[in-house]
Amino acid sequence: MIAVIQRVSESSVKIEGKIKAQIGTGLMVLLGVEEADGAEDIEWLSKKIVNLRIFPDENGVMNRSVLEVGGEILLISQFTLHASTKKGNRPSYIKAAKPDIAIPMYEKMILALETELGKSIGTGEFGADMKVSLVNDGPVTIVIDTKNRV
């Protein structure tokens, strides 16, 4: 499972021209699921996202989590995070999980993040053509692959 986490001052997702979800200060997370991902990846990654200390404290040092600053989370599914570009110029998405696996994993990640954060999060819609907007605060962008956690 790969997550691209961006600290934002605001973010939103539109589907068919209508805002599906929007947040203020918090994290916009792009999530890619692969076939080999499981419940342990969701548990570990949801805790990591919510507790990642990338918000400034009173001294301007990145020392607070989204939980500590009362921030929000917008979670967007993005299978293209598993693109392989080793051969040729057309990316291969063979490692990305098929919808029958990816959708339940995405839904479980939503629940895990809401549990960890203690409130509802904003989401996109799996498989939809989404228009995601954000103001990256910092900019701060962190990439986490659960396969590299050990």
C-alpha R_g of the chain: 15
pLDDT in tens, 101-120: 999 999 999 999 999 999 99
* Architecture per CATH, 2-148: 3-Layer(bba) Sandwich (3.50)
Q: Please state the domain extents for the chain.
A: 2-148
Compute φ and ψ for 10, nearest 5 degrees: -165, 155
Query: How many angstroms separate the CA atoms of 87 and 80, rounded?
Result: 16
Active site residues: 80
What pLDDT, in 10s, does the model give residues 46-84?
Answer: 999 999 999 999 999 999 999 999 999 999 999 999 988
Q: Is the dihedral of CA 63, 39, 118, 124 positive or negative?
A: positive
* pLDDT 10s digits, 5-23: 999 999 999 999 999 999 9
Closest by CA to 97, choosing from 52, 8, 37, is 37
Task: Give the whole-angstrom CA distance, residue 125 versus residue 142.
Answer: 22
